[in-house]
Amino acid sequence: MAYITVYSKSTCLYCVKALALLEDLGQAPEIIDVKENPERRPEMIEKAGGRNTVPQIFIGERYIGGCDDLLALHEQDDLIPLLK
């Protein structure tokens, strides 16, 4: 199983959608809620190249992007190989 980090907020529908996909694929990502842990937000922004919206998703050290980026990878059949 790949190590996945998702910066999110519990109130974000895109976060919920991205996490649901990962869980459907049998993954258990580390979830960092930047609303509950605002001190982690600058870390997220730096790692995401300046992006400040949630979710921001990382598989290992690879930056995936947001929910739409994750869904696009899955639709192109490129996500599952990254999860192995």
Listed by start position, the domains of the chain span 4-82
Q: What is the pLDDT of residues 19-59, one digit of tens each?
A: 999 999 999 999 999 999 999 999 999 999 999 999 999 99
Note if the bond before 55 is cis, omega within 30 degrees: yes
Q: What is this structure's pTM?
A: 0.95
**DSSP state, residue 39:** G
Q: Is 57 helix (H, G, I), strand (E, B) or coil?
A: strand
- 10 Cβ contact list (under 8 Å, min separation 6): 33, 35, 36
Q: Cα–Cα–Cα angle for 29, 84, 69, nearest 5°?
A: 60
* Helix (H), strand (E) counts: the chain: 4, 4
**pLDDT of 2:** 81
Q: Is the pLDDT of residue 16 over 80?
A: yes
Query: 4-82: which CATH topology?
Result: Glutaredoxin (3.40.30)
